[in-house]
Every structure is written in C-alpha cells, then in structure tokens.
Amino acid sequence: MPFWTAFESSALIHQCDPSEPIEIPSAQRVVHRLRTLIERHCGTELLAGSPDKISPPTLLLWAKRTGVRINYPLKACITRSYPEARKRPDPALSREALLARVAELEADVQKLADDPPPNFKERQSLMKLVLGMAVAGYGYNPRAPRNPATGEIINDLRIKEVPTVDQGTLLRCLRTAMEELDWPPPEEDGGQSKVSPAKPPSRKRPQAGR
C-alpha cells in the first residue's frame, strides 16, 4: 500500500500536484494550514500513522471524522482503489464509543445544572429586565407576527442619544430571553392567550397648566 506525507495529503485534498511547486500564494496558505492540522493529528485517535506515512484510507477516515471536505475525484479514487475502506467500521463510531460519549455529555449537562456559570443569575436578571420593559413599557406582543414595539424602542434610544443596537439584534435578544425564561406560558384551550401585553405609554405631552 502506498503512503502519503502530510504535505502530499494536503496538496491532493486541495487538488494541487504535490510533485510540482505551488505558485499561487492563496493555495500555498491553505495547503500549509491543512498540512499543519494533519501533522498535529498524526499519531492520535483521529489519524493513525506519522506525518511521513499516511495511508489513503486512513486519510479518508480522518477527513470524515474532522469534517474536512475531500474533493470528489480524490475520494472516488481512494474508495475505488481500496474497496475494503468503505466496509471497514470506524472504531470512533462504535457502539461503545458512542455510549461513552453520551455518558460524557450527560455528565457535562448535570455539572452545568448543579454548578451554573458565575454570570448565569446576572444574565437571567438582565433578560427579565429587557423583556419586562419591552412588554410593560412598549406593548411588545411575543405572539404577534409583527412588532412595532422594537422599532419604537430603538427610536426612543436614538432620540435620547443612548447607545443602542439595530432592530434585528433587539428582536433576537427578546426571542432569546423568551426561550431561556420559558415565557410566555402556553396558550389556553381555545387559542386565548394568558398574556396580555401592556398598552404602550402615551407619547402625548401633558398640557401646560394655566
């Protein structure tokens, strides 16, 4: 079985001839970056072998694990030349490995639940304030397909020369707050909402006293 070096593997993935100098600067950079990545992964569970001895089937398996896209002609050539590579099970995707990974993720989730990040409560408080002011002060309706309240909020902040964000960013923040705070509550039977957004504050100036 022939072997490739890390440079040859990187060049072939980027459809460059490893036997010829790469003259295009941009191609030189991408080939160098991928070569460095391959060399870093060699000898690990991601890529068996050494930087100067990489088998084509092993390279194909590495690309699948890491999400590196291999051009179709090279991939077809490897699978055609090494048909057993398609039938060979990936040990990293075995049942035992997947169960172990699931256990690790469950442990991470439990750890986050038992010991939330230091700024978790502050983040929750800020979300409650932002969402509360939008609903109570500007009549933001979380179930409405269109919400003029977000535009009014941004406009008022600009009038007061307060640092602000664009309307799309504000809308994303409000949606994130609703998702993380699990609000509004589910609608009652019959489609009637339990949430009644407050009436927007009046923009009229009070009449001057006589």
How far apart CA 157 and CA 135 sit, in angstroms, is 16
Provide the token pair at 48.
């068996």
Q: Provide the pLDDT for residue 189.
A: 45
Rounded to 5 degrees, φ, ψ at 26 are -65, -40
State which residues of the chain have pLDDT below 70: 1, 85-101, 115-117, 187-210
Q: How many CB atoms lie within 10 A of CB 184?
A: 16
Q: In the chain, where are the structural domains located?
A: 6-90, 120-181
Q: Provide the pLDDT for residue 72.
A: 87
Q: Is 160 helix (H, G, I), strand (E, B) or coil?
A: coil
Name the residue type at position 72: Y
Q: Provide the pLDDT for residue 110.
A: 75
Q: Provide the pLDDT for residue 191.
A: 43
| pTM, to two decimals | 0.42
Helix (H) or strand (E) holding 126: helix 120-138
Provide the token pair at 71.
């051009």
